[in-house]
Chain A
Amino acid sequence: GQQLNQSPQSMFIQEGEDVSMNCTSSSIFNTWLWYKQDPGEGPVLLIALYKAGELTSNGRLTAQFGITRKDSFLNISASIPSDVGIYFCAGQGNAGNMLTFGGGTRLMVKP
């Protein structure tokens, strides 16, 4: 099946720093999504990307859908303590609606 490689697996940064994480795949995806998961909670949608090359922002978050449709990145600017959590990329291919998730990036922010 399709697989997403997400990196880095974890990051420990100082409050105020910018953060970047990315996902790559050997397969093409038609949609890229970025979710955040807090402990014991379900994934919450942050940004959805629907077109190759698309760059979308949501407050301090910016994400891009790679031109090749095989990768995406998420940037968080000026991190704050509440950014702590696990960030997952997810891709949706052309075979139905199922989402394939990356392994997650655990973000820790030091005040």
Chain B
Amino acid sequence: EPEVTQTPSHQVTQMGQEVILRCVPISNHLYFYWYRQILGQKVEFLVSFYNNEISEKSEIFDDQFSVERPDGSNFTLKIRSTKLEDSAMYFCASSRGELASTDTQYFGPGTRLTVL
């Protein structure tokens, strides 16, 4: 069964450094998402991406964040200058892009980002 994959599984970085988190969505999916989960808290939506552009973003997704689909298979999240509070699990998800009411999102295993 096709799965969303993410790399790396763990990333440790110094505050102020740039990080890029990578995702390979399910191959025939058209919508891509990033969510984050701070330790012990709920999963929070960051951004959705469709047709090579951002379709929705939350207030968390400020100018420090950007997303890109650099080729036909990868979907990346870049954090330009990491802060301590960016430490979290970051989940990529993808969906087929059907009618929103029946479009199921499938999640990757996550990247644990630790900012020191």
Cα separation A103 to B112 with both chains bound (whole Å):
19
The prevalent SS among residues of A at the interface is loop
- Smallest Cβ-Cβ distance to B41: which chain A residue: A103
A79: Cβ under 8 A from any B Cβ: no
Taking Cβ atoms with an 8 Å cutoff, the residues of A that contact B are 1, 30-31, 33, 35, 40-45, 48, 50, 88, 90, 92, 94-104
Cα separation A35 to B110 with both chains bound (whole Å):
15
- Smallest Cβ-Cβ distance to A30: which chain B residue: B101
**Interface residue count on the B side (C-beta < 8 Å):** 27
Contacting B106 at CB < 8 Å: which of A1, A31, A45, A50?
A: A45
User: Given the known A-B contacts A43-B91, A104-B42, are A31 and B109 also in contact in the complex, defined by CB atoms under 8 Å?
Assistant: no
Contacting A96 at CB < 8 Å: which of B4, B55, B105, B106?
A: B55
Cα separation A92 to B91 with both chains bound (whole Å):
17
- Smallest Cβ-Cβ distance to B105: which chain A residue: A99
Beyond the given pairs A42-B4, A97-B100, A104-B42, 4 more chain A to chain B contacts, judged by CB atoms under 8 angstroms and listed by A's residue number, are A96-B48, A97-B105, A102-B42, A103-B41
Asked if residues B42 and A88 are in contact (CB atoms below 8 Å), the reply is yes
B51: Cβ under 8 A from any A Cβ: no
Asked if residues A97 and B104 are in contact (CB atoms below 8 Å), the reply is no
Asked if residues B42 and A44 are in contact (CB atoms below 8 Å), the reply is no
- Smallest Cβ-Cβ distance to B43: which chain A residue: A101
CB distance from B100 to the nearest CB of A (A): 5
CB distance from A95 to the nearest CB of B (A): 8
Central interface residue in B33, B48, B107, B108, by most chain A CB within 10 Å: B107
Asked if residues B109 and A41 are in contact (CB atoms below 8 Å), the reply is yes
Q: Would you mind naming 14 contact pairs between A and B with Cβ atoms under 8 Å apart?
A: A33-B105, A42-B108, A42-B109, A43-B91, A44-B107, A45-B104, A45-B107, A88-B43, A92-B101, A96-B56, A97-B55, A97-B103, A98-B33, A98-B56
